[in-house]
Structure 1
Amino acid sequence: MLLGDISTWLWIDLVLILILVWMFGAQLYWWQRGKRVAKIVENDEFKQGLRKGQVIDLRDSAEFDRSHILGARNMPFAQFELFQGSLRKDAPVYLYDTSKAMPIRIASRLKKAGFKDIYILKGGFSKWDGKKKSKKL
């Protein structure tokens, strides 16, 4: 019976290791993909581009209404295709969300559509330390 227990624990360990490898691989994939389609920038560089670029908040409307980067336009990820036509290809596009996965997916679409200057806020909205517009309760 002891051998059966050891075998079970080895399988559990193997599955856990595979899950960790998959998680690490997924993060590496998104990081590499992000670097190809957009420049991932820190707060300071993102702030510098606010005046000359198009700042797009990809979060849903409720989150945007609660608080967003001052000057940002809300284009929820799920409805982005409806809004994409209103973006100018000759002006930089600055994207943010709560994570990096959605902005990278949108940046990929924009790159395919001919946009050249695409920037993603590293760490998303939760890491933003600049001016915000918040709804007063």
Structure 2
Amino acid sequence: MDTVYILLIIAGAFIVYSVITWFYQRKILATLTEEQFREGYRKAQLIDVREPNEFEGGHILGARNIPLSQLKNRLREIRPDKPVYLYCQSGMRSGRAATMLHRKGYKELSHLQGGFKKWSGKIKTK
């Protein structure tokens, strides 16, 4: 019986953490439809936070590849005074990237709703 209570507490803590993270990301990050994203990404820093092999398989024209796994070490490549448009494959990694950037002082953060897999615009492949 004690094991059941421990598992319920762990599951409850995970759910609470997930909900808090979700609300925090909604507060610091604008989720843009593809149309809204297209309207503004040329005036912003467009960052693809997927891994290099995903980026080479196809990416939005004009995007720079700074994988989430390298973001902390490559912050100098992103200007804090300009808007930052992020995207990943589905929207999960770009949310985590936005959280990291916000903690480092970046304010104008947006990401593509549904991620690259929902993008229907022009792409570039290597």
Which residue number corresponds to residue 98 of structure 2? Answer: 107
Aligned-residue identity in percent = 37
Give 1:93's match in structure 2, choosing from 81, 84, 87.
Answer: 84
1:30 touches 1:101 (CA, 8 Å); kept in 2? no
TM-score normalized with structure 1 length: 0.75
RMSD: 2.3
Size of the aligned set, in residue pairs, is 119
Distance in 2 (alpha carbons) for counterparts of 1:115 and 1:99: 22
Partner amino acid, structure 1, of 2:88: D
Describe the SS at the equivalent of 1:98.
coil
Distance in 2 (alpha carbons) for counterparts of 1:90 and 1:56: 15
Displacement after TM superposition at 1:33 (Å): 2.5
Distance in 1 (alpha carbons) for counterparts of 2:90 and 2:15: 16
**Structure 2, unaligned runs of 5 or more:** 1-6
Which residue number corresponds to residue 26 of structure 2? Answer: 35
Distance in 2 (alpha carbons) for counterparts of 1:22 and 1:121: 29
Which residue number corresponds to residue 3 of structure 2? Answer: none
Structure 1 position 123 matched with structure 2 position 97: no
Which residue number corresponds to residue 55 of structure 2? Answer: 64
Which residue number corresponds to residue 74 of structure 1? Answer: 65
Task: Please identify the structure whose Cα radius of gyration is greater.
Answer: 1
Partner amino acid, structure 2, of 1:114: G
Q: Deviations over 1:94-115 (max 9, x none)?
A: 0111122221111111112111
1:93 touches 1:119 (CA, 8 Å); kept in 2? yes
List structure 1 segments (4+ residues) > 4 angstroms apart after TM superposition. Answer: 21-30
**Structure 1, unaligned runs of 5 or more:** 1-14
